[in-house]
Homo-oligomer: A and B are copies of this chain.
Amino acid sequence: MPRVDEFGLIRLLTGGRSNPARVEQGPAGTGDGVAVGIGDDAAVLDGRSGFQWVVTCDTMVRDIHFKPETMTYEAIGYKAMASNISDLAAMGAIPRFAVVALSVPADMETEALRELYDGLYACANRYGVAVVGGDTTSCPRDMTVSVTAIGEVETDRALLRSGARPGDTVFVTGPLGLSAAGLHLLLAAGRSAYDLAGLPEERQRLVRAHQFPQPQVEAGRILVRSGLGRSQNDVSDGLASEAWELAEASGCVIRLEETLLPVDSALSGYAREAGLNPLELMLYGGEDYRLTGTVRGEDAAAVQALFDAEGLEFHVVGHVLADEDSATPGVLLKRRDGSISPLQKRGYNHFKEDQSADA
């Protein structure tokens, strides 16, 4: 029998479901209220005048998405909230509300649970998110932290994966691979790395990137407010995977360039000492929660100026090929030596193999 962790199964189970008729309609003319359903970073629903709601849900499971050796309780809470806020940022939305479903072993200590909530609320407060409800239950053995986040975006302005077009410039909003390097460091060093004060500043940066990622809400808002964003994804499963999603949803070919990828000195330093390939970390390391997407080629300089004015990072890392080169959607990488080759379509492996799928 096929198993639940097989790729694409969840999509299969949810993708073909019909959208129901309403039992009782809201105000006339709104249809069923679903502007964008399953399949992007978040769903888009009719909101109050001029706005749409954006809804997303992301779960973290112990020993699947994190281990006690790699995450403090505070970090677990913070990151569970951050990954959802990042999905809203990917749509260009303003984060507003969150609901938390927590299932934890019955013998979990109060202090640990308090730290977990501290992390959830620290992230929520930082991004102006009101935690409006939730359900906390015990679980026989595992621990799951599931957050549903709700944001708002101006009507029909949400940044979807499907908006990339030939001639677009591909961007990222900061250096990548730091979270994966931080995970590697934590797995190698164990809990001792929790004591950040004992680590050199650059190592601290890697650990913080893994434990307390910062969703790029302001970057997404610049792209929506300016009207210059065309397509977008957040980097949760690694740049290669996100670029593939953009390419497939948009029906285009994206070419990334190795020499354009921003490199953080903490990443390159750690990779060198640990014998890791920094390019591998930048392309296939996940959970950086930076944004990647596209703007029109002719708008790239204007967007760069908008980001510069806000003190935010904006890096051009490639472009969308012309139509005649786009028979089959895909992602290419132009390497430092000038060679061009297809980029593997694989996502981020937390510990061995990725067993999650957004439905």
Q: Complex formed: what's the CA distance from A102 to B359 in Å?
A: 10
Question: Does A135 make an interface contact (CB < 8 A)?
Answer: yes
A131 touches B9 (CB 8 A): no
Which residues in B have their C-beta under 8 angstroms from that of A108?
3-4
Which residue of B has the minimal Cβ distance to A32?
A: B130
Contact partner of A1 among B19, B111, B139, B146, CB < 8 A? Answer: B111
Q: Complex formed: what's the CA distance from A284 to B263 in Å?
A: 62
B57 touches A135 (CB 8 A): yes
A125-172 with Cβ < 8 A to chain B = 125, 127-142, 144, 146, 148, 150, 152
Which residues in B have their C-beta under 8 angstroms from that of A64?
137-140
Question: Does A28 make an interface contact (CB < 8 A)?
Answer: no
Which residue of B has the minimal Cβ distance to A124?
A: B20
Question: Does A346 make an interface contact (CB < 8 A)?
Answer: no
Which residues in B have their C-beta under 8 angstroms from that of A113?
4, 9, 13
Question: Does A101 make an interface contact (CB < 8 A)?
Answer: yes
Distance to closest chain B CB from A146 (angstroms): 4
Number of copies: 2
A133 touches B20 (CB 8 A): no
Question: Does A195 make an interface contact (CB < 8 A)?
Answer: no
A357 touches B4 (CB 8 A): no
Which residues in B have their C-beta under 8 angstroms from that of A34?
97, 130, 132
Distance to closest chain B CB from A131 (angstroms): 7
Chain A, interface SS category:
mixed
Which residues in B have their C-beta under 8 angstroms from that of A208?
none
Which residues in B have their C-beta under 8 angstroms from that of A102?
359
Q: Complex formed: what's the CA distance from A43 to B340 in Å?
A: 52
Q: Which of the listed residues A37, A47, A114, A132 has the most CB atoms from chain B within 10 Å of its own CB?
A: A132
Q: Complex formed: what's the CA distance from A141 to B64 in Å?
A: 11
A203-228 with Cβ < 8 A to chain B = 217, 221
Distance to closest chain B CB from A137 (angstroms): 4
Question: Does A50 make an interface contact (CB < 8 A)?
Answer: yes
Q: Which of the listed residues A33, A96, A134 has the most CB atoms from chain B within 10 Å of its own CB?
A: A134
A106 touches B146 (CB 8 A): no
Question: Does A107 make an interface contact (CB < 8 A)?
Answer: yes
Which residues in B have their C-beta under 8 angstroms from that of A134?
14, 38, 57, 358-359
A20 touches B106 (CB 8 A): no
Which residues in B have their C-beta under 8 angstroms from that of A309?
none
Question: Chain A, 2-33, contact with B by CB distance < 8 Å: what is the 0/1 string?
Answer: 11111001100110011111111011000011
Contact partner of A142 among B14, B38, B121, B142, CB < 8 A? Answer: B142
Q: Complex formed: what's the CA distance from A337 to B341 in Å?
A: 86
B61 touches A139 (CB 8 A): yes
Chain A to chain B contacts (Cβ below 8 Å), 9 pairs: A27-B48, A34-B97, A42-B133, A55-B132, A57-B101, A59-B101, A61-B138, A139-B144, A146-B146
Extra contacts, 9 of them, besides A38-B134, A46-B48 (Cβ < 8 A), are A4-B106, A13-B113, A23-B128, A26-B152, A43-B97, A45-B96, A55-B150, A59-B103, A102-B359
List the 9 shortest-distance A-B pairs measured between CB atoms, nearest first.
A23-B128, A43-B132, A101-B146, A48-B48, A148-B148, A138-B355, A142-B142, A137-B356, A20-B125
